[in-house]
Amino acid sequence: MLQIGICRLLLFKVKPQIYLWLAISIFGAANSVTRKLTEIGARHFQNDRNPISLCNVLFVGNLCALLVLLIIYRRQIQPAMLKRLSRREWLGLIVVSTLAGAIAPSLIFQALAVTNVNTVVFLGRLEPPLTLLLSVWLLSERVNFWEILGASIAFTGVISIIFLFPILQGVNNISLMLGMGEIFTIAAAVALATATILGKLTLSRVSLGIYSIFRTAWGTVIFFFAALLLYGRGHFMDVFSPFLWEWMLVYGSIIVVLGQTFWITGLRATSISEASLVSSFTPIAGILAAYFILGEVPTLAQYMGGSVIVMGVFLSQIGIRQKASIRAATRNASIQKQQEIESNMGFKGI
């Protein structure tokens, strides 16, 4: 409550865009911080187990996020508002939350376990072109020239990373580039793009608060039981470890509490075009964080393909700003607004 009150007080003195930039900086660092925490846990095994496993970080991080969302959106989860939801909307919430709140985060965290952060950042940029393609195909959504051009260039950049790496390494077998980390990341991008489209189809009348809380809560429950089913009853034995919670208080306070608070505060007070433009810098923030936190330096293939991706992202912004100016940039924090921007942003680490 104290942090929410502070943000509301500062809102009168700080431009809303500043909150978005702060949130993007935090979200961009999320994957690197997650990897760093697991490395710290690996140096402090307890009973031959890593207390800061990726599963524990995801589970506890989601609980922290849920607490923050309940505080922020407490007025939107009244029983009367929940009763207004139709059966179709409840079904949509379940499917979208399973994809975006459980499957995609699990795949991303699995990818982080077996590949470097930069790979996850770059290949995760498949999500915006996939979302655009599905929007045109399934929703008959109108897109302009700049959106198509930007998405096509970004997609080319992602594909070029996959093909350039083995070529530059002198490897003849292109398929060697697609390890499990790359496959997990691509699958997560497909899941997130599908969730965005289903959200547009079924959740237009659902409030952002109900959607955010349900997605986080349902995703946490599904992930918990799926992990128990796949890995056994002892998988979360260290979830109450004091060592884990010492570091999760840092992770939860910065990545979850401040990140979510800054993001929602800025999102409520800015237009789609403004928020989307700021969010397009998330990959850059992710690459810088990987370098300063983990010492990861992009490969030559990632430099080349990443430059193409960034060019495509910024060209897409021209199209987004044109559409926003035509329909008068709205400032209400809707599900469609958040999903559209999060598609451009990529995975936020929780």
Per-residue model confidence (pLDDT) at position 343: 64
Token duo for residue 267:
């999102």
Rounded Cα distance, 91 and 110, in Å? 27
216-229 confidence digits (pLDDT tens): 899 999 988 988 88
Per-residue model confidence (pLDDT) at position 2: 44
Whether residue 100 contacts residue 181, with contact meaning beta carbons closer than 8 Å, is answered with: no
Does the pTM surpass 0.95? The reply is no
Rounded Cα distance, 282 and 23, in Å? 9
Per-residue model confidence (pLDDT) at position 270: 72
13-60 confidence digits (pLDDT tens): 567 778 888 888 998 888 899 899 989 988 888 878 888 888 888 888
Q: For the purposes of burial, counting CB atoms within 10 Å of the CB of 271, is it exposed (0-12), middle (13-18) or buried (19 or more)?
A: middle
Span 304-308, average pLDDT: 86
Q: For the purposes of burial, counting CB atoms within 10 Å of the CB of 6, is it exposed (0-12), middle (13-18) or buried (19 or more)?
A: exposed
* 140 compared with 86, residue with greater pLDDT: 86
Phi, psi of 296 (to 5 degrees): -80, 125
51-110 confidence digits (pLDDT tens): 888 888 888 888 888 888 888 888 888 888 888 899 999 999 999 999 988 999 889 988
Beta-carbon contacts of 35 under 8 Å, excluding residues fewer than 6 positions away, are: 112, 117, 293, 294
Whether residue 17 contacts residue 274, with contact meaning beta carbons closer than 8 Å, is answered with: yes
182-224 confidence digits (pLDDT tens): 899 999 999 998 998 898 888 888 888 888 899 989 999 998 8
- Going from the C-alpha of 293 to that of each of 31, 286, 327, the distances in angstroms are 10, 10, 41
Domain segments of the chain as ranges:
15-345
